[in-house]
Structure 1
């Protein structure tokens, strides 16, 4: 069977930038937090919404692929935020890029969403010969009052941006060797907006009291108040970071030492270093250098970083590259790709 993989990538960020040093006092960011994150700046979408950025990244990937939008059979979109609540943003994206023959839908898996899209696309192309071309696109925007990009998470600062890739069979840039993912829902309650759903419809008082807001630091403090619970969570996170990669490599009859490079999501430097140390790969062979200029862009990180590393000539033909992301829920996702040049 023909190879299945990525034939093009694209990325987009808005022009406006906010520097950590300029907002540190305003947001009350401690020096240690700034040092642990080591994210110097983020791009901020003042006049664009997630679907706007997704469309721009998708058009870049389509142009680079040398295909017509009408050739796309499936559009898969992922985001942790949305222009509107309960809206078909995937349909809007497909329409605006002229993917007139595509089935469009959204995958929600928080920061693993882009990887989930690649996983689905890879499996679909392997199983269904009538499906020939799939667009996977991700975008995110983190804006007050729903999300404070600087303070709503303890592991990163958030930036706005988008990424996209086209997957096909045949001649590819990155051949997908395999994918693997895990979910442990025991701490699923740590990441949510507490009001606005069916369980607790939003009220005027909720808005006034700032309860319609995503604040994982607050929920973590509430649910992880004792050391035993914190140790339990850190054990789950650490073990599954490695497990999702090792189980994939085992299936492919490979070991960590066989990896040439690693693309991971743009969380804070201290957490990224722990993941890299677990894997045992040189920092210079990873995407770690990218995070300082963009921050964490949710599910857009992985393809964004892959595209940036490709532009920076970080890969040579035959390189085996591990893609890894983790997300709220908690979920972990990995994919092994080979650079075909």
Structure 2
């Protein structure tokens, strides 16, 4: 989707202190043979700090950096991929209570690891659709997760990644900002939804009977073909093909080619996954990825790409005219992509 006159005016991040993979190995939490294989070094661990509180901290920083009065935000989207608090309660209202007030439309986006992309697409469409001549419209996008709960093991969450806690936030506006959302897009390989479901029953839902989350086991069942008649391999090939097609469409919508991509913000996965599933297919070297940073904090749910963008800005690795390709994959299987053009360096940048 080509976006017109949608800008980033602020980014906020909250990352708790990291716990090293060395500690996890010494305490029997992480397989020793995975250290050299995946080259991950640690994960951000929030302890008992709730995800919505981290989201509030990130949102406050984003609003402060943008000079945006949160009371004047028109749209609040809250993305998450893990449990946020009491059942029957929704986290976006925590931010309304403590930050924005009750004015903006507030919606929780449940799209797993691609939640921030879904929020970006929805917000861009909203801003372009309800723009009024007398004032700019703004949206606050927030993502937050704390995986330190009994139903998941962050150190064995999946093959080639470990779960990190953290939060990120974006302030979008139709007023010119330091970066432009040039394009954003998504596609689903729907027949691969079994990849994250496995043969687990849909009812009763796992958390209601204290069933732990085991993505590796579900993926094994999917690849083995016990639940899809052997269709798993074909679905995996379609995921690869659809990823490349999505990137090509999104770059075309942004009006650039691959040669104009300065950096790629992908999932915080192992080196071999980032290299073989992302950088090699795109024809780009690993030096254009943000893997060296992502390996230190873990897979942050829906925040990987925004936190990476913030890192690139704060460490002076971007200059005006650069284009950042943000690419993600999540349950669904959904594939998401966005192109961010840097217009000028914000004062809080490196």
Quote the offset at 1:137 in angstroms: 0.5
The aligned runs of 1:142-291 (5 Å cut-off) are: 142-192=147-197, 199-200=203-204, 206-207=209-210, 212-225=211-224, 229=231, 231-274=233-276, 275-291=278-294
Normalising by the residue count of structure 2, what TM-score does the alignment of the two structures yield? 0.88
For residue 73 of structure 1, what is the aligned residue in structure 2?
74
How far 1:43 moved relative to its partner? Answer: 1.4
Return closer, same or farther for 1:60/1:244 CA change in 2, 3 Å cut-off. Answer: same
CA root-mean-square deviation: 2.4
Does the 8 A contact of 1:115 with 1:302 survive in 2? no
**Unpaired stretches in structure 1, ≥5 consecutive residues:** none
Cα distance in 2 between the residues matched to 1:77 and 1:132:
18
1:164 offset after TM fit, Å?
A: 0.4
Unmatched runs of 5 consecutive residues or more in structure 2: 345-350
The offset of 1:324, in angstroms, is 0.9
Task: Give distance in 2, aligned partners of 1:264 and 1:102.
Answer: 30
1:1-341 correspondence runs (5 A): 3-15=5-17, 17-24=18-25, 26-27=27-28, 29-81=30-82, 82-130=84-132, 132-192=137-197, 199-200=203-204, 206-207=209-210, 212-225=211-224, 229=231, 231-274=233-276, 275-341=278-344
SS at 1:45's partner residue? coil
CA gap of 1:193–1:135, structure 2 versus 1, over 3 A, is farther
Moved more, 137-146 or 232-241: 232-241
Q: Which moved more, 1:217-226 or 1:156-165?
A: 217-226
Match of 2:347 in 1: none
Aligned-pair distance for 1:230?
5.2
Cα separation, 1, equivalents of 2:207 and 2:234: 35
Can you list the C-alpha shifts for 1:70-102, whole angstroms capped at 9, x where unaligned? 111111000101223332111111211134421
Q: Secondary structure at the match of 1:260?
A: strand
- Structure 1 distance, partners of 2:4, 2:258, is 26
Contact 1:155 1:271 in 2 (8 A): yes
Once the 2 structures are TM-superposed, how far is the Cα of residue 105 of structure 1 from its aligned partner? Answer: 0.9
CA separation of 1:308 and 1:295: change in aligned 2, threshold 3 A: same
* Separation in structure 2 between the aligned mates of residue 163 and residue 118 of structure 1, nearest angstrom: 13
| 8 Å contact from structure 2 (residues 154, 163) kept in 1 | yes
Task: Summarize the Cα distance change of 1:201–1:304 in structure 2 as closer, same or farther, 3 Å threshold.
Answer: closer
- Structure-2 separation of matches of 1:126 and 1:246: 23
Task: Provide the rounded CA distance (Å) in 2 between the counterparts of 1:84 and 1:196.
Answer: 23
Does the residue aligned with 2:219 lie in a helix, a strand or coil? helix
Which range moved further: 61-70 or 262-271? 262-271
- Give the whole-Å Cα distance in 2 for the aligned partners of 1:202 and 1:233: 25
Q: CA deviation at 1:28?
A: 5.9
Q: Structure 1: how far apart are the matches of 2:171 and 2:67?
A: 10
Q: Provide the C-alpha distance between the structure 2 equivalents of 1:136 and 1:196, rounded to a whole number of angstroms.
A: 33
Q: Cα offset for 1:280?
A: 1.7
What's the CA shift string for 1:217-255, capped at 9, x where partnerless?
A: 111222322696553343133222222111212334432
Mapped to 2, the partners of 1:175 and 1:261 lie a distance apart of: 15
SS in structure 2 of the partner of residue 281 of structure 1: coil
Distance 1:301 1:202 in 2: 26
